Structure 1
Amino acid sequence: MISRTSARLLLVAGVFNIVIWPRFAKAIVDDERAWSGQAWSSAPTSFLWVHAVLIGTAITLGVVVLVIGWRAHRTAPSTVSS
């Protein structure tokens, strides 16, 4: 069983990945190395494809970690004593 503190850490890590990586994706798409010519009008380069795979993987893992953290947080026993 995961503690509430650990579950919160997973939640933060999941949200971080979901928020940060799309911003990085925009920077990659806007980078001149991502295209063989004019952006969006020419063929994408391996630079773009490699980063697209990395970003997709990171976002997927972020969602998985977020779901695990959410489920763990809901089922973790409360640490407050009455």
Structure 2
Amino acid sequence: MAVGVWTWVIWPRFGLAIYRDDRSFDGGTPTSFLWVHALLIAASLTIGTVVGVLGVRAWRAARGSGVPQNRPGPAAPKNGR
């Protein structure tokens, strides 16, 4: 979950910095510098969102299972059944 939050805190701010960079536009036309960074930011936000959602789902599943996280489950019978 922390990765998802971190991603959404950092990357939009970085995107704004890239947008304001002098290398981002040439006479009002977006440059490859801007497009490459926009693609990297979009990919990072997508990955961060997926990881964050998976983290929330895992946390909810662990909370709802009623099984403590740091304890082993029931032992298997010794006779193999």
TM-score normalised by the shorter chain: which range applies?
0.7 to 0.9
In the TM superposition, residue 49 of structure 1 has moved relative to its aligned partner by 0.1
Q: Which structure exhibits the higher relative contact order, with contacts defined as CA atoms closer than 8 Å and separated by 6 or more residues?
A: 1
Instruction: Give the distance between the partners of 2:9 and 2:68, measured in 1 at CA.
Output: 28
Structure 1 unaligned blocks of 5 or more: 1-10
- Moved segments of 4+, more than 3 Å: 77-81
What are the equivalent positions in structure 2 for 1:12-27 lying under 5 Å apart?
12-27=2-17
Say whether residues 1:52 and 2:38 are aligned partners.
yes
RMSD: 1.6
Give the length in aligned residue pairs: 67
The structure number with the bigger radius of gyration is 2
What are the equivalent positions in structure 2 for 1:33-52 lying under 5 Å apart?
33-37=23-27, 42-52=28-38
Instruction: Give the distance between the partners of 2:70 and 2:32, measured in 1 at CA.
Output: 53
- Structure 1 or 2: larger strand share? 2
* TM-score (normalised: structure 2): 0.76
Structure 2 unaligned blocks of 5 or more: 72-81
Instruction: Give the distance between the partners of 1:58 and 1:43, measured in 2 at CA.
Output: 24
In the TM superposition, residue 33 of structure 1 has moved relative to its aligned partner by 0.2
In the TM superposition, residue 78 of structure 1 has moved relative to its aligned partner by 3.8
Instruction: Give the distance between the partners of 2:45 and 2:57, measured in 1 at CA.
Output: 18
- How many percent identity over aligned positions? 51
